[in-house]
Structures are given as structure tokens and as C-alpha cells.
Amino acid sequence: MRPICNDCGLQMKCKRNGHPIVITDDPEKADPYQLWMADLYQCAGCDHEVAVIGQGQIAVSNRYYDDDFAEKLESFGGADVVRVF
Ligand SMILES: [Zn+2]
């Protein structure tokens, strides 16, 4: 994975591995159903950041399959909430 900033034309650098992401399909960013660990990339030109979930990764937890989803969600406190439509 080599994210490139479309505005600056620079390859973004990894700022942090293990960036927590909460996935929801609710427009109000409620009702999460998946937890992921992403890599956070940043552009050195404009500081724009993107979170990348690598191919082949699986969710840390899924509300529909994991009994401990609520506990894991709590441990993701302060995570970015991403809406998926
Ligand atoms: Zn940029």
C-alpha cells in the first residue's frame, strides 16, 4: 500500500500503525458494527491524513459474530468513526 496525496503529488508516510477505526452505516455515526486497526498515513506537504485498512486484514471485532463486541468497542474509546454506505 502506497497512499499518494492527490493534491501534493507526494507519497504519504505512515504516521502510526494500529490506528483504531469504528465502522457504522448510520449517518449519525451511531450503531457501530465493526472494529478495525488501520494504519494512519500523513502527507508531508499538506498534513492530510488517511487511514488505510490493508488487504487481507480481518476486523478486530464484529457485532454480529462476537459476544465481547461491547467490551472491545469500549476499549476503542476515542477511535475515529467511519461511515460506510
Ligand atoms: Zn498533500
Tens digit of each residue's pLDDT (9 = 90 or more) over 28-79: 888 999 999 999 999 999 999 999 998 888 999 999 999 999 999 999 987 8
Contact 84, 23 (CB under 8 A): yes
Distance CA 30, CA 23 (A): 9
Distance 7 CA to ligand 1 centre (A): 5
Tens digit of each residue's pLDDT (9 = 90 or more) over 12-35: 999 999 999 999 998 888 899 999
Helix, strand, or coil (residue 4): strand
Q: Tell me which residues have their CB within 5 A of the ion that is ligand 1.
A: 5, 7-8, 43, 45-46, 48
DSSP 16-56: EEEEEEEEE--TTS-S--EEEEEEEEE-TTT--EEEEPPTT
Distance 22 CA to ligand 1 centre (A): 25
Distance 77 CA to ligand 1 centre (A): 28
The rounded mean pLDDT for the chain is: 92
H or E element in which residue 61 lies: strand 61-62
